Amino acid sequence: MVILGIDPGLSITGYAAIQAESLGVGGFEVVEAGVFRFDRRRLISNRLEELQTDLTSLIERTRPACMCVESLFAHFGHPRTAIVMAHARGVILLTAAKFRLPLVEISPATVKKAVTGNGRATKAQMQYAVAAVLGLPSLPKPADVADAIAVAMCGSRRFAGAAAERGPASPRVKKR
């Protein structure tokens, strides 16, 4: 089953489609991962439209079973970042709904704790941890890619757990 992980942003959005064969220890393979880059000089509305187009194309290529997204995080020293990220998340959530994809939202601290053991891990620590878990020959770059892979890995476990709790019926985590 393919799980899509998204690290939202309006300058750079990280994405990762992983194959989750076995949801035990390891058991993940990266199908496709990268970033969508947006020109900061363009209007926000244009960048949001580009994000929606890129994400639609990614979903059509990878055909994920669910989408996992970092939940909104606001740092008291950078409130504008949360507002800008909320725009990108809105487009991401709407695109998931258009494809009727089950949605798993996970806080950044939860993802960091699950992958590194430290809920305040640095970007570099996340890159090293993701590379180690997947046995990658080099660090996923930029850091947004590692974050998206980590979101997909954590989200796949939640998605599988929710599906197991619901039984063989429709495995929806959050119906959109």
User: Could you tell me if 105 and 73 are in contact, meaning their C-beta atoms sit under 8 angstroms apart?
Assistant: no
Among residues 50, 54, 105, 144, the one annotated as catalytic is 144
Catalytic residue among 7, 50, 54, 105: 7
Which member of 54, 70, 105, 147 is catalytic? 70
| Phi, psi torsion values for 40, nearest 5 degrees | -65, -20
Active site residue 7: yes
Q: Is 144 in the active site? A: yes
Query: Which of 127-157 are b and which e, b meaning 16 or more Cβ less than 10 Å from the residue's Cβ?
Result: bbbbbebbeeeebbeebbbbbbbbbbbbbbb
**Is 39 a known active-site residue?**
no
Distance of alpha carbon 142 from alpha carbon 136, whole angstroms: 14
Catalytic residues: 7, 70, 144
